[in-house]
A and B are shown apart, each in its own frame.
Chain A
Amino acid sequence: MKPPPFAYHAPTTLDEALQLMAEHGYGAKVLAGGQSLIATMNFRLAAPAVLIDLNKIPELSIIQPTAEGGALVGAMTRHVQVEQSELIARTAPLLHATMPHIAHPQIRNRGTFGGSIAHADPAAELPAFLRAVRGQVLAQSRRGQRWIDADDFFIGLFSTALEPDEIVTAVRLPAMPARSGWSMQELSRRHGDFALVAVEALLTLDADGACDDVRLAFCGVGEGPVLATAAAAVLQGQRPTAEVIEAAAAIAASDDVDPHSDVHATSAYRRHLVDVLAKRALTAACARAAGEEV
């Protein structure tokens, strides 16, 4: 199918884009890489009256180090640029490990980092990643700008804390804490598809080797990226023995997620995968935090 008619604007500056957002507000959609939006429009699942195309605003496509030792990624940065960025590989190894799992190379060539965050697909990896690392989203409008914590940004199925006139312009990734370890695990029935379940893990061990700050975020199991708080509580202050990790993973599966059933897998199997993948992710992340090769 073809999309219903829409008005199209291609601003060349951010100011111009924000002006257009202020004018069109609710009826407008931002066109970034178009890998989700165009498909939903062609299927007539979305019918925005106005498209505001950000592809002609070069300053939105950047990857920069931050003073704190993290990275700032512009919203229009293509997935492939993130995937191949040496800075990302060094400062955000979890993101570096995640990128190859996002769809196919053709889609990564076109899809954007900010687009995936703003689209907030509950099956997508990047929102879960952003929660795991406590990233922040920069939202800009004619009224000003604000940084939104990832935990506050994703509020439900395909919905975020963005106001109708706001655009995501950048994402800030904190530096990896000292004595921290990470892991990303997923199972997809077919290469390049959305995962049945994926998990993004980042945790820190204290001087005694006990778990300090455990961040375990899942996609594919709820209405948005799901942070496994009950599992984290099991680990907090504990040395990550195999038994503790097993208990935490079991709690993640039983208490933290509420997965749906569809033609690809039942809810029960997704819950099983949460258990398996949490165990693997926690084991690998703890090993990395302890300085072991994984």
Chain B
Amino acid sequence: MRAVGSSLPRFDAHAKVTGQALYSGDFNLPNQCYMKILFGERSPARITHLRLSAAVASPGVLAVLTADDVPLNEYGLILPDQEVLCGRVGGVVRSVIDQVLLVIAETEAQAAAALDLIDIGYEDLPGVYSIDEALAANAPLVHPERGESNVLLSYKIRHGDIEVGFAQADVIVEHSYTTHPQEHAYLQPEAGVGWVRPDGKVEVIVGGQWMHEDRDQIARALNLPPERIVVRYPAIGGAFGGREDISVQIVLALAAWKLQRPVKVQWTRSESIRGHHKRHASVASAKWAATQDGRLVAAQIDVSTDAGAYAYTSPKVLGNLILATLGPYDIPNAHVDARSVYTNNVPGGAFRGFGSPQGHWIAEMQMNHLAAALGMDPVELRMRNLWREGSELATGSKLPAGVTVRETLTACAKAAGWQKLAAGWQKSALDQPAQIAASPLHGAYSLDVGHSHKARGIGIATSYKNVGFSLGFVDECWATVELHGGADIEQVVLHHAGADVGQGAHTIMRQIAAEMLQVPLDKIELIASDTEQTDNSGSTSASRMTFMAGNAIKGAAQMALQLWDAEEDRPVVARYRYVPRPTTPYDPETGAADPNISYGYCSQAAEVEVDIDTGHITVLRLWSANDVGKAINPTMVTGQIEGAVAQSVGWTLLEDFKQERGRVLTDKLSTYLIPTVLDVPRQVHSIVLEIPDPQGPLGARGMAEMPFVPTAPAIAAAVYAATGIWFDDLPLTPERVALKLAQKNRAVS
């Protein structure tokens, strides 16, 4: 059996299922003590007094650490606009995500008890809690030290001549859109242990997405050289972008360094939900124009995202989002303004799709509206405008070879009942399988008489998402391959720092190594645990790990095989750095850029059932056609598609992260609802295309984010097909849907 292309079991499956796999919260070190974090309670507010004596005197308390204890009290993945600890008189809490101070005690209960004894006073400051409030004239500034407005940064794209474009229009559609924040809700809340090793290095055992970046951020805040810090990733219980930024990493290192004792922290679910960033909320307006024959001639978009109180990855997310607002279409004249705005809400940041879902919500809803306005089939309209091989982005650069968005839309449309006739693409009636008509499991949901209140519809959407870091970032990925043995290779040791956050990256890395070296999988030992034994591999994000690690491992394996043949010495060691083709940043005035290394494409169709009285929407079937280039492990590819769909259906219909003046109202999994297995589509049809990416290892493309991206507009189109009503604001909660349906009924009667 070949290693690549086979659905081999995950190497860690047995350990995880039997509970033997250790996550960061499972580690306990001798003589360890416990830390609790005081979070900001008011947003925004200035700390007027801070008295620690009662907490310090509380039983078991070893230390209370405040802003004064942090050597360099600032950090941030993109820009250092956040304090590690803001606890000092005169310090400012800008969001409930802020960590004010740390209490370390012999036991967790003692630390928690002492936390309640902290005597802290706040003076409320004027805040801004929405994009509109933040952009209003004379709005209070979230970061007065960062300039005269709350705009964190803005981008623009100027392509063609927008006025000429609109002058050619037969049809213009103009709509406003909003999207809401989303919580990652990974299985494992943040946890970890920090300690000072006998060799004097500070080691942090934690879950994250980029161990070398975590290391560098810790080193900077502690004012220590990076070599003094070791970050170790054990098993990680999900990430989805939510572990890209710092949560407990710096404070664990700080506490261990100050106390010279092992320190453990374990966040509760509530601490996790308020303690890390969310998918960005966004507001947008869009005006698109087409000719009568369905040719796009102009697109004008204005979009803003809620960065919350700190930058996190907002600048990078905005860079992706602005491009995604134009969809995968040839639009000769485009004019986009995008900005990310500071508010006193929980920060926005990385989350599967990284701005692409919000961008496509605009682009694909505009295409849905255009198809309706033109009376044209939505597949046909898209096919007339989709990118082709050799198409240019609105930023003026040619798309990397391997543009397969049409192939995904073709496969998806055919599966969901479309046909290509002489006159173009057309929807035909679709069979209703028996299990859809009456599923006993789901039938209990709503017991209405004869299903007479139900309306069904099918909608479709398409999308793309970049693979790898963008806009001039010099991306790199290291791998080291050691070959041991004599005449034959007896053992392979692979060093790689890429985080397996639960998606199976470490299994993929083994498969690629086995394939490249032509050795059985069980001869490969992977060392991917810490920054000491590996070189920088970059982040597990941007759907980049298979692409980047695969290319790095391929390069290292080829180099190692050459050494193996050329040299007598054993073992041979090959250290390889993969650097993808360079990208360039947006021109500040025109947006001209070659923004991304590579892209992945995905089209989806959704069949929904709408209860027209209650407004409740059920997704019956979802078709997801994805070009993955090469499915290294087909079962894991399908798992990624199904997982993304569960998450995107949750975002579209169910999940509703709520804040009130910066305070989180949904900080439990009983108030923040994520789908159960009974709430995801009854059938998810994964259609896996394997059209090689010329740059990808063995042809593989990044694919893990893409099946999130088109779901929401596909569902909204299906709801329109069922009810005749467009919903341009997410999420489609039953309350919101019922209200609009009732308005329509009243208008009709």
Contact = CB atoms under 8 A, between A and B. Distances in A.
A266 B654 CA distance: 15
A280 B448 contact: yes
B679 interface: yes
A269 interface: yes
A183 B679 contact: no
A284 interface: yes
A193 B671 CA distance: 11
Contacts of A136: none
A100 B671 contact: no
A191 to B, nearest CB: 4
A189 B734 contact: yes
Interface residues of A, number: 29
Interface string B591-635: 000000000000000000001011010000000000000000000
A294 B449 contact: yes
Interface string A268-284: 01001100110010011
Interface string B443-475: 011111100010000000000000000000000
B742 interface: yes
B678 interface: yes
Given A101-B444, A189-B654, A263-B665, A283 B735 contact: no
Nearest to A273: B614
B676 A185 contact: no
Nearest to B447: A185
Contacts of A150: none
Contact of A276 (B447, B613, B678, B739): B613
Contacts of A187: 446, 611, 614, 616, 734
A185 B449 CA distance: 10
B691 interface: no
A183 B738 contact: no
B658 interface: yes
Nearest to B672: A263
B735 A190 contact: no
A183 to B, nearest CB: 7
Contact of A263 (B445, B446, B654, B666): B666
B448 A185 contact: yes
B678 A269 contact: no
Contacts of A186: 446-447
A87 interface: no
A184 B666 contact: no
A267 B721 CA distance: 29
B614 A190 contact: no
A283 B614 contact: no
Contacts of B445: 188, 191
Given A189-B654, A190-B679, A287 B449 contact: yes
A10 interface: no
B673 interface: yes
Contacts of A100: 444
**What does DSSP make chain B's interface, helix, strand, loop or mixed?**
loop
B447 A183 contact: yes
Contacts of A183: 447
B91 interface: no
B585 interface: no
Interface string A243-265: 00000000000000000000111
Interface string A168-199: 00000000000000011111111111000000
A38 interface: no
B676 A192 contact: yes
Nearest to B445: A191
A272 B654 contact: no
A100 B614 CA distance: 20
Nearest to A277: B614
A284 B665 CA distance: 38
A97 B447 CA distance: 9
Interface in B659-684: 665-666, 671, 673, 675-676, 678-679
A276 B614 contact: yes
Nearest to A283: B449
Contacts of A263: 656, 658, 665-666, 671
A162 B253 CA distance: 55
B202 to A, nearest CB: 31
Nearest to B268: A1
A192 B36 CA distance: 33
B182 to A, nearest CB: 15
A190 B446 contact: no
Nearest to B670: A193
A189 B453 CA distance: 17
A101 B446 CA distance: 10
A224 B671 CA distance: 21
A284 B616 contact: no
Contacts of B453: 280
Contacts of B738: 269, 272
Contacts of B679: 190-191
Contact of A269 (B448, B654, B735): B735
Interface of A: 97, 100-101, 104, 183-193, 263-266, 269, 272-273, 276-277, 280, 283-284, 287, 294
27 contacts: A97-B447, A101-B444, A183-B447, A184-B447, A185-B446, A185-B447, A186-B446, A187-B446, A187-B616, A189-B616, A189-B654, A189-B673, A189-B733, A190-B654, A190-B673, A191-B445, A192-B676, A264-B673, A269-B734, A269-B738, A272-B738, A276-B614, A280-B448, A280-B449, A283-B449, A287-B449, A294-B449
Given A269-B738, A276-B614, 16 more contacts: A104-B676, A186-B446, A187-B614, A189-B733, A190-B654, A190-B676, A191-B678, A191-B679, A193-B673, A263-B658, A269-B735, A272-B738, A272-B742, A273-B614, A280-B447, A283-B449
